[in-house]
Structures are given as structure tokens and as C-alpha cells.
Amino acid sequence: ENTTALLVLPLASGQNLSALVFAQMTGEARFGFNELEIAKTITNQATVALENARLFQLSVRTADRFSILNETSSLVNSSLNPEDVYMAARKAAERLVPLDSFVITLLDVEKNEIEPAYMVDRGRRIMAERVPFGKGMSSQVIASGKPILTSTLEQASSMNTVQAGEGDDEETRSIVAVPMALGGKTLGMLSAQSYQEGMYTEEDVQILGTLANQVIVAIQNGRLFAETQSLASQFEKRVI
């Protein structure tokens, strides 16, 4: 109420304004040149300290994420059981990004269908039917080989999504869906989804893309092992 002098200084990093610093005086006092220079020096030092803290937190987060990916790579490649692979992938995704739903879909080339291999919503396993290839968000990701990132209900609603399960009326708002590619071919989709808006970034797209490529290798290894076992069994029957 009795402020007679007000000094406002920005805390900025590059072209980005982080905060404002306010200093005020009352009575007959006024800010002079010396006070202004001292205040500018203090805010510049504070800006550098804040930026260093931000970069340190970012480096720690990045290191943690790569540690999770390395751990997950060992886990998924240690099992030929697809259910074990799916579960390990979901647990890794939950540590990497915030999510309410987790989805893995695979392309069945022979039947030209999308197989909903693994779907979990708020910790509950969801069983869904196959859909023709060309329908749904999975088809879009697999056909284009490109990820999808949405941050609002309007963006999510514009996707050619296929509803699965019998959940409540709450609608998905944030989606990150990445292709699962191997040998230059996109064989499936991995997706993390949230009922909250603005949950994912381009960094999340990249980190989940790395996870997806680890997972599809493990899935294909399991498929090849199953096919080999089946052929060996048929050969054995013929020999006997």
C-alpha cells in the first residue's frame, strides 16, 4: 500500500522468461543506479544457478531413463514367453512416463488384421477383438511407420481410434503411440495413454520408440522359437 518505488527484473534463460523478481521501497527511498546494477547482478547469478539446476535434473532424468531401458532390454530378451515380454514392457513404460493405459498391437500379415496383443487400463487387463488392417490408430501407425502424439481431447478424438473394453465414459486425452519396427518393417504399435491433457512430449516419443524396438525384437524371437518348436514336433511325428 505504501510502496513508492518498484523494481521488476526478469529471470530469463536465452529467450525464455522463467520468472520475475520484484523489489519495492516505501517512504522517500528510491532505487538508484547502484541498486539497479546490484539487482541485475543478483538476478543474472540466480538465472545461471537455476539453469544449471534444470540441466542437472534433466541429465539425471535422462540417465535414469536409459538405465530403465537397459534393465528392460535384459528382461525382455531373457524370456521367450510373449506374456512375460508384454508385462515387462508395461512395467518399463510405467516407470518411463505417466500413463493410465498401455497398449501393444501386432500386425497379422497373413490375415491382414490388427491383433490387440496386450491392453491394460488402470491396472486391469482388457481383452479386445481383432480389427481389419486399415482401421484404427494402430493401422495408421503401422502403415506410416510414424509415431502419433496428442495432448488434448480434440486431438485424441480426431484419431481413427477403436474403442476397447467396457470402461466408463472418461475419454483419453493424451496419447503417444510409436511403431514397433524390425528389419525396416513396422510390425506393431506400442502406446501409452492418459485421461489427462498435456502428459507427453517429443522426448517421451523418442524414449518409448526405443522401448518399442527392444520389445519387438523379443516378440519376434519368441515367435521364431515357437515356430521352430512346432516344426520340430511335426518332423518328429513324421519320423515316428
Tens digit of each residue's pLDDT (9 = 90 or more) over 154-199? 898 887 676 665 556 688 999 999 999 999 999 999 999 999 999 9
Contact present, 110 and 223 (Cβ < 8 Å): no
Answer positive or negative: Cα dihedral of 114, 118, 120, 125. positive
The CA distance from 94 to 122, in Å, is 11
Report in angstroms the alpha-carbon separations of 19 from 23, 30, 156: 13, 23, 32
Contact present, 204 and 61 (Cβ < 8 Å): no
How sure is the predictor about 119, in pLDDT bands with cuts at 50, 70 and 90? very high
Residue 92 one-letter amino acid: A
User: What confidence score (pLDDT) does residue 42 get?
Assistant: 86
Using DSSP, state whether 68 is helix, strand or coil.
Answer: helix
The CA distance from 79 to 97, in Å, is 24
Contact present, 21 and 9 (Cβ < 8 Å): yes
Which is nearest to 204 in space by CA: 113, 103, 93, 126?
Answer: 93
Mean pLDDT, residues 206-213 taken together: 95
Contact present, 128 and 119 (Cβ < 8 Å): yes
